[in-house]
Amino acid sequence: MSQEQVEVIAIDGPTASGKGTIAGIVAQRLGYHYLDSGALYRLAALTCLDRQVDLLDEAACAKAASDIEPIFRDGRIELFGRDVTEAIRAEIVGITASKIATLPSVRQALFDLQRRAKKAPGLVADGRDMASVVFPDARLKVFLTASAESRAERRYRQLIQKGISANLTSLTEDLAERDRRDRERKTAPLVPMPDSRILDSSNLTIEETVETVLSWWREVNQ
């Protein structure tokens, strides 16, 4: 199978919409590879933080992004010989990722790494610009949303479960700020494509959301 023939399901959406969970399960059910593109932005952000890079210095941020060679193994992520699986989930890393993601040369630096994830038998890719920029050829494009309240609550529960203290009010403000940055940036803004299918998961369980994506997948393959 040539790389062009490999099937891609793109799942884009705002912060804390549940993309990662849904994309991971869909990939598992289909026996496909899974690309968490947000993790790459987080790895680049962690590298910027470790190097104490000035986030307004685009060249230095892009250098940090192009230096990463992460190893994904058994659900763990290793970067420069260190296990950073938990470290990249910290809120400060998410906020920094959202800031450097507005820089075109950072996005460019991560482009090939993302394209290389397209491998047989198929790929489920989650992010903000999977359908618009990285895999415009995806056979199925899903735009996964949820109301701001349910996303803030989900993120809150996620953090508390991990033993990280969180405050719902500041989380809600933080998510709104990240949404604004994702939607308003000039390069690869978060928008559904004309051929994206919109899925609002506010009142759906994980299983119902997964089932909807899988039923759309069966439909496009008929």
Interface with ligand CDP (CB under 6 A) = 15-16, 37-38, 41-42, 94, 97-98, 101, 127-129, 178, 182
Separation of alpha carbons 87 and 128, rounded Å: 22
Q: What is the 8-class DSSP label of residue 7?
A: E
Q: Cβ closer to ligand CDP: 9 or 31?
A: 9
Ranked by CB distance to ligand CDP, the top (closest) residue is 38
Residue 41 CB, nearest approach to ligand CDP (Å): 3
Residue 24 CB, nearest approach to ligand CDP (Å): 12
Residue 112 CB, nearest approach to ligand CDP (Å): 14
Residue 148, token pair as written in the block: 């701001």
Percent helix, strand and coil across the chain, each rounded to 5?
A: 50, 15, 30
Which residue shows structure tokens 């193994």?
Answer: 73
Q: On the CB side of 216, how many CA atoms lie within 13 Å of its CA?
A: 19
Q: Cβ closer to ligand CDP: 94 or 122?
A: 94
Q: Which of 33, 63, 36 is nearest to 48 (CA)?
A: 63
Q: Cβ closer to ligand CDP: 29 or 181?
A: 181
Residue 121 CB, nearest approach to ligand CDP (Å): 22
Cα 139 from chain centroid (whole Å): 18
Q: Cβ closer to ligand CDP: 15 or 201?
A: 15
